[in-house]
Structure 1
Amino acid sequence: MENKTMNKRVYGILGISSIMGNWNADFSGYPKSTTDGNVFGSDKALKYPMKKMWDNEGKKVIYIKSLNEKLIPRTLKERYIKVFEDEDLKDVKKVLTNLMAAVDIKNFGATFAEAGCNIAITGAVQIGQGFNKYIDTNAEEQDILSPFKDAKAKEKNEVKAKAKAKANNLSEDDIEVKDAQNSTLGTKITSNEAHYFYPFVINPLAYKELVDLDVTEGYTEEDYQNFKRTALVSATAFATNSKVGCENEFAVFVETESDAYLPNLSEYVTFAKCEDKNIIDLKKLANILKDMSQQIKSVEIYYNPYTTELTNDDIKAAKHFNIITSKEV
């Protein structure tokens, strides 16, 4: 294959707003947080809507849940066979070539350990944890009335009745077991408001060895543009029950020379609210990009001008775009 690896690195930030939504819940149902209470979203929470969008577009996606004809989740091997229509897993080079043709693996990498193939691919795109930068975030718990009664209510009440009979030295026949008389209550947990900022970096040279093995043409400009297009809209497009209210609100793409190394850029922006506008302060980001200006090729900033203002936005030659319309502002 021809080596088409793009000759640059990309650093950036992806910002997600959550208004009465739950961007990334833990197993308790509450927004995920660190031990000291800082709310954050995992990289998986950001990648999943992107994978879902690619899958809906008919692109090859491996690492996404899918069901077989019995409505049971497929294994990794079954998913591979489903996507590539190829049951031969003995030819490792062929398997590797197929894997690199999947858009999620081409971006994020993969670990594939099936049928003698033990393959680990470090993705060209690395996304960090997205910390919420809005200080007044609170979890909201809502009670939801179900239209149905609990089908197992009588069974549960029977267990309680037996325990009560035993505790009071009564016969189980003396305890009345009632079925549910009312419909059940559920719970929905959301954040009143949260603003997550994810750092990311794209290193096309991550696939240098795979290019040498002739299993891929490398991470190309086309791959980057596809990632960029999807990263700007996938959260907004992914409107599930808990994700309604979660939207793409901010993004920065800094293209640099291939030997330029920048830190996590999300640490160099701050967020605040002022009356009816969100304020994103870019002072620290502008300073670090100014100091690295000789190695920076371009800077693009996407934001929602209807809800957000950028302050201290003194970044040389930066282009600004409406994140909703993609038009330059």
Structure 2
Amino acid sequence: MEKKHYNIPVFISHFGCPNACVFCNQKKINGRETDVTLEDLEKIIEEYLEILPKDSYKEVAFFGGTFTGISMEKQKEYLEGVKKYLDRGLVQGIRLSTRPDYINHEVMEQLKKYNVTTIELGVQSFNEEVLKKSARYYPVETVYKACEMIKSYGIDLGIQLMPGLPGSTFETDIESAKKTVEIGPQNARVYPTLIIKDTEMERMYQRGEYEVFSLEEAIKRCRKICALLEINGINIIRVGLQPSDDLRNGGVAVEGAFHPAFRELVDGEIYFDFLKKIKDRDGFLNIKACEKNISKIVGIKKKNSIRLEKFQLDIDNSLDTSEIEVNGNKYIRKDILKEELSGCR
């Protein structure tokens, strides 16, 4: 049986980052490279080790900044700080996020030496015009080279996408998903764009230079993106930002496609269209599914139940989460995703 995976998240701001992406509100503090001390790092790891299952697979995950944009010396300090836990078998790996243009052989040699197991690249978009308008420009070739290099070192690759950036369209965001599939990372995250307080994007919005990426449009794009990634065997770690209290209360997000259960919304729409096509064809719906799939079928606030009107829904736990029986026919998750992508070329 595969061990359950847990991240021990360490959020590092990179105050020395020379970039100014329009969606980022990273503060610049002169003379200070990051905001996490080695004592902080040890405290975070120790706290998580107390509550996480002993027999689980644990990665210390450096998020929140461009890890490999920090000086090599500082990177080494953090990696050394985790090494003692790796050596004792208390954690099994290290995960980090960075930019495609901050990957080179010198960096990779050090990361490999310290048993970095996963590198997530904040690609955001494979469209160069979108990257330019987001003040995050690098040639797309840089992304391919970084991905190839990471793979060559035997380290798992993750790709992060941000549909809805300035200048993006449904077509450019779907194309980014297709190019992600071509590269074949082990995992992906999909973060629909939000307007975050105190960012250039907020100022663009106030000047009328950026139109809000609505929740409806985000669902429309993300359902196709997620279907493309999943059907091609890419593990989707997260869809939508973590529903923190700040986001919910409007302390961080100004406008945009935020919902605390965004992935459920996306899945609900995928299931709705699939079931509606069957109902339109057969004139009725008799559905059997395991308990864990019921929420996807009925939708958040029973939205799908209302739209589908009368139908029979029974719990059958002999079916697993990848299966659903409709009108006597059994369908697997791949059938549903294929139907979702039938009009997406």
- Per the normalisation by structure 1, the TM-score is 0.30
More strand by share: 1
Q: Which has the higher contact order (CA 8 A, sep 6+)?
A: 1
More helix by share: 2
- Per the normalisation by structure 2, the TM-score is 0.29
